[in-house]
Amino acid sequence: MYQELLKSKGLKSTPQRVMVLTMVENAGHIDIDQLSEDFKNSGMSVPLATLYRILGELSSVGVLHTVTLSKGKTRYEIAKGDHPHFLCEECGQLEDLKVAMNDIVAIAQNACTHSTNSVSVTLHGICQNCSVNPKKPLKD
Amino acid sequence: MYQELLKSKGLKSTPQRVMVLTMVENAGHIDIDQLSEDFKNSGMSVPLATLYRILGELSSVGVLHTVTLSKGKTRYEIAKGDHPHFLCEECGQLEDLKVAMNDIVAIAQNACTHSTNSVSVTLHGICQNCSVNPKKPLKD
DNA sequence: CTCTATGCAAAAACTTTGCAGGGAT
DNA sequence: ATCCCTGCAAAGTTTTTGCATAGAG
């Protein structure tokens, strides 16, 4: 229940926040424009400023995780521990890779003298769909 | 020699481009504001629009590599093949980790059904300096 | 009832684009 | 002389902030 989750993080439960969490959960990965559009489609129009604030808060308490793509595009996902992503450079699709990060982290941390608390790994390439029917826009 | 490099990529050698390459090389990692400031300090003022264009060109021909941090901050480095980075969440320092990516790539690609052409790995944490004397701004 | 979150509007930060003049080959 | 590059200005994106009101506990 998102209501509990929010409370446990010291945040009040509001319709907007619950909706954001629901939408991010359903989408897997989503950016703010898509969120805004989803809100419109559900009849509930929420200004971008509010979405930015909600996403910022949820990220800072660790409920959401941000994936920053090139050109400052940010996508959000429910934080579920580190995992690698695949990013299609053609269509912008972002896909979770089902791999434990342990080995990756071990290798990388072995070379790192600082204390780390998270690791991001992204593979960049062309997804199968785009290699079959090439599109135009790199929404990345 | 940067002049040769630029020519080999089909780009003309200009003072601005050579300067950008020199500065990126010297800095290791640098963002556009720092570049702009470096230009000012060297007496040669180059508008941001031009820097954006130069950085975009050099990136698209593969001479530079971009590291995109959260909040749309982008840093540039001389492209030298993939390698992991450490990012200090407190001071924003970005550090190259001296590790072959082979093993990391192998593990991640093993779980990826798409064709990939690059991999980015970033460890996030607090650098030694910041854990000793904590600062205020997370410039990330 | 108190205090936080939302909505609105404005601004700040970041990046791109068009066009005219200048420089490299 | 030709064509690419730069500089300038303007516009486009993305994100943040201040303040008054509405809503949650």
Specify the pairing of strand B85-88 against strand B94-96.
antiparallel
pLDDT of res. B33? 95
| Whole-angstrom distance, CA of residue B35 vs CA of residue B43 | 13
Instruction: Give the CATH number of the domain where residue A104 resides.
Output: 3.30.1490.190
Q: Which two tokens stand for residue B21?
A: 């390459």
Specify the pairing of strand A94-96 against strand B94-96.
unpaired
Answer yes or no: do B62 and B108 share one domain.
Answer: no
Higher-confidence residue of A45 and A102: namely A45
CB of A113 within 8 Å of a chain B CB? The answer is yes
- Residue after which a domain boundary falls, among B31, B63, B80: B80
Residue A128 to residues A39, A85, A87, A94, A118: CA-CA distances in angstroms? 31, 15, 12, 13, 29
Answer yes or no: do A75 and A91 share one domain.
Answer: no
Answer yes or no: do A61 and A107 share one domain.
Answer: no
pLDDT of res. B11? 95
| Whole-angstrom distance, CA of residue B96 vs CA of residue A129 | 34
Answer yes or no: do A21 and A67 share one domain.
Answer: yes
> Which residue is it, tokens 């579920």?
A80
Is the pTM higher than 0.85? The answer reads: yes
pLDDT of res. A139? 40
How many domains in chain B?
2
- Find the nucleotide nearest A12 (Cα to C1′): D24
Minimal CA separation from A134 to chain B, in Å: 14
Stated in angstroms, how far is A50 CA from D21 C1'?
15
Residue B113 to residues A102, A123, A126: CA-CA distances in angstroms? 20, 11, 10
pLDDT at B139 exceeding the cut of 60: no
Answer yes or no: do A56 and A26 share one domain.
Answer: yes
pLDDT band at residue A140 using 50, 70 and 90 as cut-offs: very low
Stated in angstroms, how far is B59 CA from C24 C1'?
22
Strand C lies under 7 A from the Cβ of residue B13:
yes
- Measured between beta carbons, the chain A residues lying within 8 angstroms of B115 are 125-126, 131
CB of A67 within 8 Å of a chain B CB? The answer is no
Stated in angstroms, how far is B1 CA from D21 C1'?
63
pLDDT tens digits along B27-79: 999 999 999 999 999 999 999 999 999 999 999 999 999 998 877 789 999 99
Domain enclosing residue A65, as ranges: 1-80
pLDDT band at residue A134 using 50, 70 and 90 as cut-offs: low
Answer yes or no: do B72 and B125 share one domain.
Answer: no
pLDDT of res. B59? 95
Residue B96, helix vs strand vs coil: strand
pLDDT band at residue B108 using 50, 70 and 90 as cut-offs: confident
Q: Is the dihedral of CA A60, A61, A64, A67 positive or negative?
A: positive
Chain-chain contact of A104 with B121 (C-beta, under 8 angstroms): yes
Neighbours of A11 (CB within 10 A): 15
- Find the nucleotide nearest B47 (Cα to C1′): D7
Phi–psi pair at B106, nearest 5 degrees? -60, -45
Chain-chain contact of A126 with B112 (C-beta, under 8 angstroms): no
Residue B87 neighbours by CB under 8 Å, 6+ apart: B69, B93, B94, B95, B122, B123, B124, B125, B140
pLDDT tens digits along A72-109: 789 999 999 888 899 998 888 899 988 777 777 788 78
